[in-house]
């Protein structure tokens, strides 16, 4: 009883102090929660018809990670002689590809394959033309260390980042630690996962069911593409117009680059390459893993001829029973391919280099 009375006495004498202390605690607690939510949540805006994206448990998307990844993506400091960034070969206006058959790396060296577009990568589970890399995090090391691309050792890249006060601060905010190889890879991969496209004419026609989105030629092209005569959609299917398999489409009788075979050493993988996405295809020429076909019309004519003979050529690249397309049908197919362009994606300021950033 006495104790209760003394507690009441204590409270009544000190109520002002207690009230001030509790308000400070409440302010700090709710403040940090609100702050946490505002600063960290990054939600991918899922386009209509898309399944959930693949985001690794240990690299969830946050605003800070994405912003840091974007800065790194465009920073030439991450190449040996500070002349090349990821963005040099993966430019927003070309759907994060370039318009060369083989891209230029440091010291004007040229690579051996056509730069791939970076678009809707959060729905892909293998990377490169031969699918040799399983995650986006792992696909940051390749271009950095490749002598024909950025030609820098990971330890040198990490050293440069640690010498830069802004980066040290931003890595701390994004990952709670100093720059290291792991967080460098994770930050760039986070930015890449936000490069989402889902507002082309094709999306309006096919996913949003707007029948007026297409003109007559585009509709004819769509039915040819999806139909059994052209077989296009037997490989170019799903939200990104790829079934994520590796196929030989009869580009050569004898392939200078053996593609998937370089990874598996299986005879029947010779000349097989990843079925590429066709999103924004009108912006990413020249075409194929080696940039050997210059225009979309030539691509369609290549399929129309049935391709070159190769023991691994897919039976879908062949027109044994079907009559080839006439000139009008070729035009219709090309017009359909143009409807896969999403200018909202290309012009999105969130994907372009910040003009204030040094790069
Ligand atoms: C010199 C030009 C060049 C630079 C610089 C470059 N890339 Fe690439 N990128 C390519 C080429 C070429 C390919 C295809 C290579 C292959 O298949 O072997 C590619 C493929 C990719 C892919 C695979 C896409 C897919 O759909 O499978 C990703 C992801 C990628 N690059 C990310 C990056 C990142 C991140 C950087 C910077 C750290 C970067 N690239 C720097 C030329 C470049
Ligand atoms: C057997 C599977 C298959 C079929 C069927 C197919 N493609 Fe392809 N397509 C591929 C593969 C694999 C590549 C990449 C080949 C390479 O680089 O050597 C490709 C590449 C392309 C490219 C160039 C992409 C780029 O980024 O360079 C276009 C455009 C294209 N196909 C359109 C079509 C059209 C149109 C049809 C139907 C007439 C069609 N494809 C049928 C598998 C297929």
For residue 130, the ligand 1 atom closest to its alpha carbon is 17
Q: What is the mean pLDDT of the chain?
A: 91
Across residues 46-71, what is the average pLDDT?
A: 97
Statement: residue 350 has pLDDT above 50: yes
Q: Higher-confidence residue: 243 or 231? A: 243
- CB of 186 sitting under 6 A from ligand 1: no
Residue 140, ligand 1, Cβ within 6 A: yes
From the CA of 274, give the closest atom in ligand 2: 12
pTM above 0.85, yes or no: yes
How confident is the model over 207-220, as pLDDT tens digits? Answer: 999 999 999 999 99
Probe ligand 1: pick from 108, 132, 143, 146, max atoms within 8 Å of CB?
A: 143
At residue 359, does pLDDT exceed 50?
no
CB 192 within 8 A of CB 118: yes
Q: Does the structure show a pLDDT above 50 at 149?
A: yes
Q: Which residues contact 69 (CB under 8 A, 6 or more apart)?
A: 187, 188, 189, 190, 191, 192
By mean pLDDT, which of 25-29, 107-111, 187-191, 301-305 is the weakest? 25-29
Predicted confidence (pLDDT) at residue 4 exceeds the cutoff of 70: no
CATH code: domain 201-341 is 1.10.760.10
pLDDT recorded at residue 26: 58
**Separation CA 59–CA 57 (nearest Å):** 6
Q: DSSP label at 204? A: I
The pLDDT value recorded for residue 17 is 77
C-beta separation of 260 from 71 below 8 A: no
**Residues of CATH 1.10.760.10 domain(s) within the chain?**
59-197, 201-341
Q: How confident is the model at residue 40 (pLDDT cuts 50, 70, 90)?
A: confident
Regarding the beta carbon of 149 and ligand 1, being less than 6 Å apart is answered yes
Residue nearest to ligand 1 atom 12, measured at CA = 115
3-state secondary structure of 291: coil
Of all ligands present, the nearest one to the C-alpha of 272 is 2
CA distance 189 to 53: 13
Please, which pLDDT band fits residue 23 given cuts at 50, 70 and 90? low
Report domain 59-197's class. Answer: mainly alpha
The DSSP code for 107 is: G
The CB of 289 under 6 Å from ligand 2? The reply is yes
Q: Which two tokens stand for residue 120?
A: 């809707």
> Ligand 2 atom 10: the closest Cα is on which residue?
275
More confident residue, 108 or 38: 108
**28 pLDDT more than 60:** no
CB atoms closer than 10 angstroms to residue 280: 22
Helix (H, G, I), strand (E, B) or coil at 216: helix
SS3 316: coil
CA distance 114 to 129: 9
């Amino acid at each position: 009883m006495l104790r209760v009375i003394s507690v009441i006495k204590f409270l009544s004498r000190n109520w002002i102090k207690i009230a001030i202390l509790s308000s400070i605690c409440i302010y700090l607690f709710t403040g940090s929660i609100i702050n946490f939510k505002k600063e960290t949540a990054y939600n991918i805006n899922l386009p209509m018809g898309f399944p959930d994206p693949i985001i690794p448990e240990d690299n969830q998307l946050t605003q800070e990670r994405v912003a840091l990844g974007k800065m790194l993506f465009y920073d030439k400091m991450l190449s040996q002689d500070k002349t090349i960034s990821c963005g040099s070969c993966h430019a927003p206006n070309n759907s994060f590809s370039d318009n060369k058959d083989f891209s230029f790396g440091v010291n004007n060296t040229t690579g051996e394959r056509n730069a791939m577009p970076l678009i809707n990568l959060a729905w892909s589970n293998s990377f490169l033309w031969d699918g040799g890399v399983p995650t986006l995090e792992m696909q940051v090391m390749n271009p950095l260390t490749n002598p024909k691309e950025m030609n820098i050792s990971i330890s040198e890249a990490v050293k440069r980042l640690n010498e830069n006060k802004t980066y040290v601060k931003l890595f701390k905010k994004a990952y709670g630690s100093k720059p290291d190889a792991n967080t460098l890879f994770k930050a760039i991969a986070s930015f890449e996962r936000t490069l989402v496209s889902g507002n082309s004419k094709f999306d309006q026609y096919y996913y949003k069911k707007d029948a007026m989105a297409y003109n007559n030629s585009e509709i004819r092209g769509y039915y040819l593409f999806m139909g059994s005569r052209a077989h296009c959609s037997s490989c170019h299917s799903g939200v990104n117009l790829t079934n994520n398999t590796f196929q030989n489409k009869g580009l050569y009788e004898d392939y200078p680059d053996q593609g998937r075979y370089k990874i598996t050493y299986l005879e029947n993988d010779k000349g097989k390459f990843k079925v590429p996405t066709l999103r924004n295809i009108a912006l990413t020429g020249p075409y194929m893993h080696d940039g050997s076909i210059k225009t979309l019309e030539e691509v369609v004519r290549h399929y129309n001829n049935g391709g070159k003979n190769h023991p691994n050529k897919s039976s879908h690249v062949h027109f044994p029973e079907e009559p080839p397309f006439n000139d009008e049908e070729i035009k219709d197919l090309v017009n359909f391919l143009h409807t896969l362009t999403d200018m909202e994606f290309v012009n999105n300021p969130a994907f372009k280099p910040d003009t204030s950033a040094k790069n």
